[in-house]
Amino acid sequence: MGLFSRLRDFALSALAVIGAIAIVALMLHIISDVALRNTLNQPVPATYEIVTNYYMVALAFIPLAWLERSGGMVRVEVIDGFLGPRSYWLSEKLVALISTAIYGMLAWVTFEASLKTFAAGTFVLAQNIPIPTWPAYFLPPLGFFLAAVVTALRLVERQTTHEPL
């Protein structure tokens, strides 16, 4: 299990780096757009389209797995204090199983949708320039799939304490 945990942690660290790069790129893009608009009256073309179709989608879906690993997403804490160690373990495994199933279904459905947008060559027009948006449709299934992997690994990991993950 150690190898899987190390691979998972490496992948999640890579996701954190990708998320940081997306945030920096978003900030630089918006700063340059505002600066050029106010100084030269020439905004960066398609800023709104790129921010909403790429940066925001990436920032919403790529960190899902990292949030799952840190315990920041699905938690059942209402009755945790009343559970014994065995019941707590069972509760954690049940939540992990349900989360894995839901993330897996979401990954599948969004992947099918992304294949349709790829086949159609989906784009938006920004100042009469076509901006392809179909690549961004592959980010939600990636995020959901990685979150499903993290929750599936939680199913097989051994939990030794009664503390939250």
Domain range list for the chain: 2-156
The pairing of strands 123-126 and 129-132 is: antiparallel
Whether this model's pTM surpasses 0.75: yes
Residue found by looking up tokens 């990292």 in the block = 66
Question: pLDDT tens-digit profile of 112-149?
Answer: 999 999 999 999 988 888 999 999 999 999 999 989 98
Residue in 59, 146, 66 with CA at minimum distance from that of residue 110: 146
Question: pLDDT tens-digit profile of 25-58?
Answer: 999 999 999 999 999 999 988 888 899 989 988 8
Give the integer Cα–Cα distance in Å for 11 and 45. Answer: 34
Question: pLDDT tens-digit profile of 72-116?
Answer: 666 667 777 788 888 888 888 888 899 999 999 999 999 999 999
